[in-house]
């Protein structure tokens, strides 16, 4: 029977059954039996937002030759079953799929579904646009994708659509920052599916499958405390109890038949439930009844669960103390809370994850590095788009360049956070689709940015977005004699940015907005760059200069070619074309500026003694490029290295080359050493004037596989620091966690992979330190990293593998690249060396500037005025004054209507990591922005789906210490105080003033 017919027939019945007593949330939970073991059956489906098929292929159910899955049919089938029987329940997670389905339904069906949600029988859990990855996703993107999904649920279903429970049943390891964010979003609990096999065995033995996660060392408890439970079977049903059409388990046969299996199934279920209960502390346990893309024929599941519930509960008449019921994660959580127990505390995270000996899921920290970089750049551009859309109002969305909005890129970024997207663990054609959707979103946001810049700058220009600047390609700058560079700064403080543009002239003048002539240099495009770009550009030189941009604003620089002047390359360049001959001493080259000296850049191998930064420090860091050869399986274990799994065939890394072709460039603006190690690996060591860090720009690929070996490429830094086996990585770009080699905080580790078992996700930075000195490396995308020896740290930058790792994707990680001969990746690491006490003041600000980099928009110049008689505006800031350096403007975006603005202010230092940076800061929100006036303001939770004053989270008792009840501060928008690592979220009604 079609869904429409079922909805029409049962709509009245659903209303009658619910009546005035219908309730959602904890009030809707079923009655349990206090003197029995209550088994909560949780009907669910796990619908990957892309993996083996694209998002569209999964929704519509096409390409079933790859995987039989059709999300639209799952929702059709489940809703019909729920409407037919008021005892049944179901949970749903992935809002991107539900929102699409919802948009195709009739109003009658929508009303029926609203009633199911109001009764708590259709419950949304997690509620994000997707179920995001926790290793490679940046906290900013996590917040955005969660807010996107939760906003849809709030607008569609009101308070009853607000999830109480976070539900990450499939991500491959769990970060502490993710738990902190969930707590700040108002969630009462968090359920996990995957944890390390040794960790799980230890927890089962100690009955610590559920505990309280204290997810921040900076936020005062219980702000970042989150009750966390590990599910018993990942997210699958117990063995032999899968009744989906994709399963082969026998159904429950309770008729008079030779096939009757009630007694055996009941006996098996009672034993399974009792065994599971041994690992948990209360008289409540949960069983996940569903799996990947199940419930396309929901009747199969519900008919068999009905019989199971009936026959198991019937045993209570014969002395059984097991009670089975349809339930949801929130109802299960409620019962745990009502048990009034105290719970042990967890302070670390759940990385790295292994599902068996030699099987560490640490390869995906780096897998598909080009997609990881594109996702990071897309988030950067989305924030620029959001800001300009908010600042220019309707003139950003409707203007001379077309009608558009940030919505398309927001949704594409939401999909990109999925745990098979940014993680790099989807099939190649799915990965291509993720990139395509991001590209479509970029196109839409380019219209918004063009409209906004024309409106604010009062000039209709032919705006050009050169997205291949990293390989020196930009048709405008290559051909034009004069052009303008708009440098938009999305940060709330002024920044300096090093600009590098492809040109074909040899001498240029650069003029700042105030008419000042800017020092610049012209440098030849390297042979490395020419080799990477191939036929995609023709520039022979690069124009380099430093630009500055005001907070939350832009500066326009005019560039003009100066005819008839050619510089002799010999005045700029010192070249070393050949490596040192055997037996001869290797020449060395030095680069330095006012604050850093880079000494002894060796031409032998990949070894580089990097720098002595800030005169009072005297440590050298030696950097090397190496590779691990990937395992294809061996006698110890058949596990191969693949998209998920990192498993080298040797614990030692091999140098990429024993020698390098090297040359040096010295100018007043920048000094560089170019090193070419092989036809597929090169590097530039770069030091700009005035910058207190060294930049390493690396280019890797196509990685050769002619020797039938997959390879995993690392960049390693060796120092004489005494680090005692410790190193430090960020958690999703925010708080820092200490790591120890061959150690886990909560169990005695039996190490089976000395390299892969010590790899951790590095979202933005990794560092080592001793009592005096700290070496910090900042990344431009998520990567895997470790410290394999004292004083050493390494980052994996690229992988090319020949074998699948047997985790479902069924493809080796063998990316074809643009020219189908292997993927070439270019990226950079920023290297900081400072005192341990002062390092945070550098790496916090620099990492944020790397993540929220200035956006370059180019134009020929000379466009007509936006309005007749209006002069163009060469410089602009949307802030009346810059924010303190410790405060970050995390979000500035339209929220629903043009006069509704979402603002998030963030303290970006941890407690105690900086003498000055870690102090509380107070901001006047009402007098902050110059383009609009705030009329009213309401403080919200982190996800902006609940007023801060209305947040009432369940209270949990920690096993040690006490938790102080935190009262909600009365909002004074003229005095917004931020404590270390605190994010405060505001929904403001505004009145535009810029164009009045």
895 in Cβ contact with 944 (< 8 Å):
yes
pLDDT for the residue numbered 583: 42
The tens digit of pLDDT for each residue in 436-473 reads 999 999 999 999 999 999 999 999 999 999 999 999 99
Cβ-proximal residues to 422 (8 Å cutoff; 6+ apart), any chain: 132, 133, 136, 137, 141, 371, 372, 375, 416, 782
Which residue(s) pair with 875 in the sheet? 555
pLDDT for the residue numbered 778: 98
CA pair distance 348, 744, nearest whole angstrom: 9
The tens digit of pLDDT for each residue in 266-308 reads 999 999 999 999 999 999 999 999 999 999 999 999 999 999 9
> Of 751, 835, 825, whose CA–CA distance to 788 is shortest?
751
* pLDDT greater than 70 at residue 522: yes
Task: List b or e across 279-288, with b for residues whose CB sees 16 or more CB atoms inside 10 angstroms.
Answer: bbebbbbbbb
CA pair distance 824, 468, nearest whole angstrom: 14
Segment 405-410 mean pLDDT:
97
* pLDDT greater than 90 at residue 584: no
What pairing do the DSSP bridges indicate for beta strands 90-92 and 122-124? parallel
The tens digit of pLDDT for each residue in 243-262 reads 999 999 999 999 999 999 99
Q: 660 pLDDT band (50/70/90 cuts)? A: confident
Q: 14 pLDDT band (50/70/90 cuts)? A: very low
> Of 22, 147, 167, whose CA–CA distance to 91 is shortest?
167
Mean pLDDT of the chain: 91
Q: 419 pLDDT band (50/70/90 cuts)? A: very high
* pLDDT greater than 60 at residue 7: no
Segment 792-798 mean pLDDT:
96
pLDDT for the residue numbered 920: 97
* pLDDT greater than 60 at residue 969: yes
Single pTM value for the model: 0.94
Residue positions annotated with a catalytic role: 170
pLDDT for the residue numbered 994: 65
Task: List b or e across 12-40, with b for residues whose CB sees 16 or more CB atoms inside 10 angstroms.
Answer: eebeeebeeebebebebbeebeeebbbbb
Q: 582 pLDDT band (50/70/90 cuts)? A: very low
* pLDDT greater than 90 at residue 570: no
Segment 490-513 mean pLDDT:
97
> Of 140, 145, 855, 927, whose CA–CA distance to 452 is shortest?
855
Q: Output DSSP code: residue 807.
A: S
Q: Output DSSP code: residue 729.
A: E
The tens digit of pLDDT for each residue in 742-754 reads 999 999 999 999 9
pLDDT for the residue numbered 962: 67
pLDDT for the residue numbered 995: 54
pLDDT for the residue numbered 591: 64
The tens digit of pLDDT for each residue in 891-940 reads 999 998 889 999 999 999 999 999 999 999 999 999 999 999 999 999 99
pLDDT for the residue numbered 569: 46
Residues comprising the chain, all counted? 996
> Of 130, 639, 644, 714, whose CA–CA distance to 423 is shortest?
644
pLDDT for the residue numbered 960: 85
Q: What radius of gyration, in Å, describes the C-alpha atoms of the chain?
A: 29
Would you state the structure tokens that stand for residue 22, as one six-digit string?
């219908």
CA pair distance 117, 133, nearest whole angstrom: 27
CA pair distance 150, 142, nearest whole angstrom: 12
pLDDT for the residue numbered 993: 83
The tens digit of pLDDT for each residue in 474-500 reads 999 999 999 999 999 999 999 999 999
Segment 205-233 mean pLDDT:
97
Segment 308-313 mean pLDDT:
98
* pLDDT greater than 70 at residue 572: no
Cβ-proximal residues to 110 (8 Å cutoff; 6+ apart), any chain: 102
Cis peptide leading into 647, omega within 30 of 0?
no
Segment 578-603 mean pLDDT:
49
pLDDT for the residue numbered 594: 60
Q: 566 pLDDT band (50/70/90 cuts)? A: low
* pLDDT greater than 50 at residue 370: yes
pLDDT for the residue numbered 935: 96
Better-scored residue on pLDDT, 631 or 585: 631
* pLDDT greater than 80 at residue 598: no
CA pair distance 828, 850, nearest whole angstrom: 10
Where is average pLDDT lowest: 152-166, 610-624, 674-688, 876-890? 610-624
Residue 661 parent element (H or E): strand 661-666
Q: Output DSSP code: residue 604.
A: S
Segment 829-850 mean pLDDT:
95
pLDDT for the residue numbered 16: 34
């Amino acid at each position: 029977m079609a869904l429409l017919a079922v909805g029409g027939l049962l709509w009245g019945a659903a209303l009658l059954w619910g009546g005035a007593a219908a309730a959602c949330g904890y009030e809707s939970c079923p009655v349990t039996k206090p003197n029995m073991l209550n088994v909560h059956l949780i009907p669910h489906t796990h619908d990957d937002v892309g993996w083996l098929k694209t998002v569209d292929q999964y929704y519509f159910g096409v390409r079933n030759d790859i995987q039989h899955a059709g999300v639209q049919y799952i929702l059709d089938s489940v809703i019909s079953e729920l409407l037919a029987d008021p005892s049944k329940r179901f949970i749903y997670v992935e809002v991107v799929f539900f929102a699409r389905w919802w948009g195709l339904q009739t109003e009658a069906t929508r009303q029926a579904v609203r009633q199911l949600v109001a009764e708590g029988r259709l419950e949304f859990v997690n509620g994000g646009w997707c179920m995001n990855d926790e290793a490679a996703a940046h906290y900013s993107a996590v917040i955005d994708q969660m807010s996107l999904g939760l906003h849809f649920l709030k607008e569609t279903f009101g308070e009853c659509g607000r999830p109480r429970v976070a539900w990450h049943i499939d991500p491959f390891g769990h970060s502490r920052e993710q738990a902190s964010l969930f707590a700040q979003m108002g969630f009462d609990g968090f359920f996990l599916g995957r944890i390390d096999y040794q960790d799980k065995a230890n927890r089962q033995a100690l009955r610590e499958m559920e505990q309280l996660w204290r997810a921040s060392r900076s936020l005062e408890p219980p702000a970042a405390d989150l009750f966390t439970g590990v599910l018993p079977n990942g997210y699958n049903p117990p063995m032999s109890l899968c009744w989906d059409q994709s399963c082969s388990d026998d159904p429950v046969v309770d008729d008079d038949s030779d096939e009757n299996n009630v007694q055996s199934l009941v006996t098996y279920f009672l034993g399974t439930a009792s065994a599971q209960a041994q690992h948990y502390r209360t008289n409540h346990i949960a069983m996940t009844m569903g799996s990947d893309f199940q419930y396309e024929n929901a009747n199969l599941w519900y008919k068999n669960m009905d019989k199971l519930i009936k026959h198991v509960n019937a045993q209570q008449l014969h002395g059984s103390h097991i009670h089975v019921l349809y339930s949801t994660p929130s109802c299960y959580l409620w019962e745990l809370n009502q048990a009034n127990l105290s719970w042990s505390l967890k302070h670390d995270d759940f990385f790295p994850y292994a599902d068996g000996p030699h099987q560490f899921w640490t390869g995906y920290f780096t897998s598909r590095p080009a997609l990881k970089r594109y996702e990071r750049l897309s988030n950067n551009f989305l924030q620029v788009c959001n800001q300009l859309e908010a600042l220019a109002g309707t003139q950003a969305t409707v203007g001379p360049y077309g009608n558009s909005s940030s919505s398309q890129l927001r949704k594409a970024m939401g999909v990109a956070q999925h745990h098979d997207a940014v993680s790099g663990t989807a099939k190649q054609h799915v990965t291509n689709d993720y990139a395509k959707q991001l590209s479509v979103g970029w196109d839409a946001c380019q219209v918004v940015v063009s409209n906004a810049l024309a409106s604010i700058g009062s000039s209709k220009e032919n705006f050009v977005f050169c997205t291949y600047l990293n390989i020196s390609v930009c048709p405008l700058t290559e051909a034009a004699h004069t052009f303008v560079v708009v440098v938009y700064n999305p940060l709330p403080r002024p920044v300096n940015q090093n600009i590098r543009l492809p040109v074909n002239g040899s001498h240029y003048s650069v003029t700042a907005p105030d008419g000042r002539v800017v020092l610049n240099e012209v440098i030849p495009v390297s042979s490395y760059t020419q080799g990477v770009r191939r036929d995609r550009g023709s520039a022979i030189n690069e124009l380099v200069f430093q630009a500055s941009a005001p907070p939350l604003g832009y500066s326009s620089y005019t560039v003009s070619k100066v005819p008839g002047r050619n510089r002799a390359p010999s005045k700029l360049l010192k070249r070393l074309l050949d490596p040192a001959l055997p037996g001869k001493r290797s020449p060395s080259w030095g680069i330095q500026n006012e604050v850093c000296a880079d000494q002894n850049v060796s031409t032998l191998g990949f070894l580089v003694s990097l720098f002595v930064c800030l005169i009072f420090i005297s440590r050298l860091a030696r950097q090397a490029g190496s590779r691990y050869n990937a395992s294809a399986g061996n006698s110890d274990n058949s596990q191969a290295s693949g998209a998920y799994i990192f498993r080298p065939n040797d614990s030692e890394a091999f140098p990429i080359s024993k020698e390098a072709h090297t040359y040096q460039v010295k100018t007043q603006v920048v000094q560089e050493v170019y090193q070419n190690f092989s036809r597929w690996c090169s590097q530039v060591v770069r030091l700009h004037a005035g910058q207190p860090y060294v930049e390493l720009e690396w280019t890797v690929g196509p990685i050769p596989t002619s020797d039938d070996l997959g390879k995993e490429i690392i960049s390693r830094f060796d120092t004489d620091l005494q680090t005692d086996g410790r190193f430090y990585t960020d958690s999703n770009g925010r708080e820092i966690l200490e790591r120890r080699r061959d150690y886990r905080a909560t169990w005695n580790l039996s190490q089976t992979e000395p390299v892969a078992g010590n790899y951790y996700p590095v979202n933005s930075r990794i560092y080592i330190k001793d009592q005096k000195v700290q070496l910090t490396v900042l990344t431009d995308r998520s990567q895997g990293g470790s410290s394999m020896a004292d004083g050493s740290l390494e980052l994996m930058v690229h992988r090319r593998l020949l074998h699948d790792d047997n985790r479902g994707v069924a493809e080796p990680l063998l990316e074809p690249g643009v020219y189908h001969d292997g993927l070439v990746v270019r990226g950079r690491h920023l290297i900081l060396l400072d005192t341990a006490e002062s390092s945070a003041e550098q790496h916090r600000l620099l990492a944020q500037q790397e993540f929220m980099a200035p956006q370059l928009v180019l134009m020929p110049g000379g466009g007509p005025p936006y309005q007749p008689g209006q002069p163009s505006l060469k410089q602009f800031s949307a802030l009346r004054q810059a924010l303190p350096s410790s405060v970050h403007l995390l979000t500035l975006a339209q929220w629903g209507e043009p006069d509704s603005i979402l603002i998030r202010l963030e303290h970006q230092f941890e407690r105690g990591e900086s003498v000055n940076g870690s102090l509380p800061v107070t901001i006047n929100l009402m007098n902050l922005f110059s383009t609009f006036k705030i009329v009213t303001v309401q403080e919200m939770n982190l996800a902006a789906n609940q007023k801060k004053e209305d947040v009432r989270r369940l209270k949990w008792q920690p096993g040690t210490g006490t938790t102080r009840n935190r009262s909600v501060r009365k909002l004074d928008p003229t005095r917004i105080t931020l404590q270390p690592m605190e994010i405060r979220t505001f929904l403001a009604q505004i009145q535009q003033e810029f164009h009045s």
